[in-house]
Amino acid sequence: MFGSSDLLILVVLVPLITAYFLPLCGYIRSSLCNLVSVFSLSISLIISLYLAKIVVLEGTIQYFTTGFQPPFAIEIRADQLTVLMVLATILLSLLTVIYSRYFIRGRFTEERKGLYYALILLLAGGLNWFIIAADIFNMFVGLEILSISSYTLIGISQKRKAIISGFKYLLMGAIGSSFTLLGIGYLYIMTGTLNFNDLALRIIELNLMHSEAILASLAFIVTGLSIKSAIFPLHVWMPDAYSEALVPICALSSGIIVEAAVYMLIRIIYTVYGTKIIMEIVPITTIFLYISGIAIILGSFFAISQTNIKRMLAYSSVSQMGYIILGVGISTKLGLSAGFLHLFNHTIMKACLFFAVGGVVYRKGITEIYEFRGIGKKMPWTMTFFSIAALSIIGVPPTNGFVSKFLLAYASLDAEKWFFAIIILISSLLNAVYFFKIINISFFSGKKEEEKDIKEPPKTILIPTGILAILCIIIGFAFPIPLSMIETAIKSLIT
């Protein structure tokens, strides 16, 4: 019967199997799709919460499909960091599905609704598979499942521009995937294995530290996954894709897909290649350090110059990915855990921002910033949630953004890289410039009398936004819980 470690595979299978049934539900009754997907993701949420409890109490879970021992079987593994990622994925997908109930009404045909929810569940299942894989090829399979469903979701509204931007995203994403696959190929040729731990062992055993093929594989995998995670010079697909996509998809993509890619990038460079290769032979961490500095500042400047709010949030994501990469660049335990904490905080903050913007889009259909004049008086709750998340991104206490930014600044001072503490400070001011602009024109300008019919969005849109906004504040106080989980996982990551 089901043991506790079997739950790890169920967290992938429950969304995936439901995804295959959903197009059928769409034929029977399209309103059924939403309920079925909410039900399935709630079950996954319960499973992943239980999994988190087991992992915290009993340590890392390993699971081998087909029952052989690795490296022959496919290994999946969950440590405390992985469990947090799975929880974030499932929570965000569940909120997105609830959010979409009214949001997608009238945007496409009834049959297509089944496809929409099926793709979201496929995305959730693919993400979970990507996150828990301890085998480099299965990681790639998960990456492809999640990428293909996200390309389709960007273009699902069937408007001309949306299809074009989805296609652009597909081209960039396909380049990223092929680079990753090429890197995996080099690794497999040189070592003859695909399991993460086995790869690390073989690279040392066969004395491949200085081999060109291994270094080429490192370059390919880092480039490929950097494209997927929109790290600074490779972020160009992101604003174009978001400006035409539906808002819930932007929230999912910016909230969890790019984060999952960067999480896997960090996991691979630390577990497979090890600190000696990435710090001494090829100074990848130093490169990431300088890239992060440029990304944080330039991302903020680009965001200030945007007039479309979705593009602004996309550039803000570029800047926030810089913070996460800064954690890798500092490459101490403290820096890396601060980076990961910022990763989870960014998931919550950015999804909340997109959800709040989506509320405005649902009622008024506007995305230009100047049109937000006076919105705060008509939709006080939506804009309050927006402001909480915006303050969190700026880094105002007592929100979660403050904690992770403070930890990152502290870590960079601790590693004697004081220059980056100044960059964090400057970037916070720049963030304040573009977010206070929106808060200002939405609350303090415009007249209350005009357009009286504009009111708050329906509760299925308001409540997920509210949950995320409240989480922003709760994690601002309860940050030791995720931080201690991250630190436990990182102790085994950096040896």
Partner 1 sequence: MPADRWEDVIAQTIARLLIPMILLYGIYVIFHGHLSPGGGFQGGVILASSVILYSLVHELDQATKFFKKKFRVILEPIGPIIFAFIGLLCIFFSGNFIQYSKLPFLGDKEMAAVSITIIEAGIGVTVMAMVISIFFSLGGRNR
**Would you count residue 69 as binding partner 1 (CB under 8 A)?**
no
Nearer Cβ to partner 1 (118/326): 118
**Would you count residue 212 as binding partner 1 (CB under 8 A)?**
no
Nearer Cβ to partner 1 (27/444): 27
Q: Identify which of 241, 234, 134 has the alpha carbon closest to the alpha carbon of residue 194.
A: 134
**Would you count residue 67 as binding partner 1 (CB under 8 A)?**
yes
Positive or negative, the CA dihedral 29, 31, 32, 37 is: positive
Minimum CB separation from partner 1 for residue 23, in Å? 5
Among 4, 20, 418, 419, which residue sits at the site for partner 1 (rule: CB under 8 A)? Answer: 20
Residue 218 corresponds to which amino acid?
Answer: L
Minimum CB separation from partner 1 for residue 142, in Å? 15
Stretch that binds partner 1, among 16-24, 361-369, 382-390, 473-481 (CB under 8 A): 16-24
**Would you count residue 9 as binding partner 1 (CB under 8 A)?**
yes
Among 65, 109, 158, 286, which residue sits at the site for partner 1 (rule: CB under 8 A)? Answer: 65
**Would you count residue 494 as binding partner 1 (CB under 8 A)?**
no
**Would you count residue 21 as binding partner 1 (CB under 8 A)?**
yes
**Would you count residue 1 as binding partner 1 (CB under 8 A)?**
yes
Residue 305 corresponds to which amino acid?
Answer: S
**Would you count residue 450 as binding partner 1 (CB under 8 A)?**
no
Nearer Cβ to partner 1 (21/108): 21
- Cβ neighbours, 10 Å, residue 126: 27
- Separation CA 350–CA 479 (nearest Å): 18
**Would you count residue 302 as binding partner 1 (CB under 8 A)?**
no
- Separation CA 42–CA 314 (nearest Å): 29
DSSP code string of 427-472? HHHHHHHHHHHHHHHHHHSS-SSS-TT--PPPHHHHHHHHHHHHHH
Contacts of 392 (CB under 8 A, 6+ apart): 345, 348, 349, 352, 399, 400, 401, 402, 472, 476
Q: Please return the burial class of 227, using the count of CB atoms within 10 Å of its CB with bins 0-12, 13-18 and 19+.
A: buried
Stretch that binds partner 1, among 9-17, 99-107, 155-163, 301-309 (CB under 8 A): 9-17
Nearer Cβ to partner 1 (24/426): 24
Nearer Cβ to partner 1 (152/211): 152
Residue 368 corresponds to which amino acid?
Answer: E
**Would you count residue 6 as binding partner 1 (CB under 8 A)?**
yes
Nearer Cβ to partner 1 (9/396): 9
Nearer Cβ to partner 1 (118/353): 118
Nearer Cβ to partner 1 (25/104): 25
How many residues sit in the footprint of partner 1 (CB under 8 A)? Answer: 19
Nearer Cβ to partner 1 (16/279): 16
Nearer Cβ to partner 1 (20/39): 20
Stretch that binds partner 1, among 39-47, 64-72, 269-277, 457-465 (CB under 8 A): 64-72
Minimum CB separation from partner 1 for residue 74, in Å? 9
Fill in the DSSP letter of residue 156: T
Chain positions 149 to 188 lying near partner 1, rule: CB under 8 A, are none
DSSP code string of 63-103? EEGGGPPTTTSPEEEE-HHHHHHHHHHHHHHHHHHHHHHHH
Residue 266 corresponds to which amino acid?
Answer: I
Query: Is the Cβ–Cβ distance between 244 and 163 less than 8 Å?
Result: no
**Would you count residue 13 as binding partner 1 (CB under 8 A)?**
yes
**Would you count residue 63 as binding partner 1 (CB under 8 A)?**
yes
Helix (H) or strand (E) holding 289: helix 284-304
- Separation CA 433–CA 417 (nearest Å): 26
Among 4, 11, 15, 17, which residue sits at the site for partner 1 (rule: CB under 8 A)? Answer: 17
Chain positions 73 to 112 lying near partner 1, rule: CB under 8 A, are 73
Q: Structure tokens of 225?
A: 């996954």
Name the E strands within 16-153.
61-64, 75-78
| Site residues (vs partner 1, CB under 8 A) | 1-3, 6, 9, 13, 16-17, 20-21, 23-24, 27, 63-67, 73
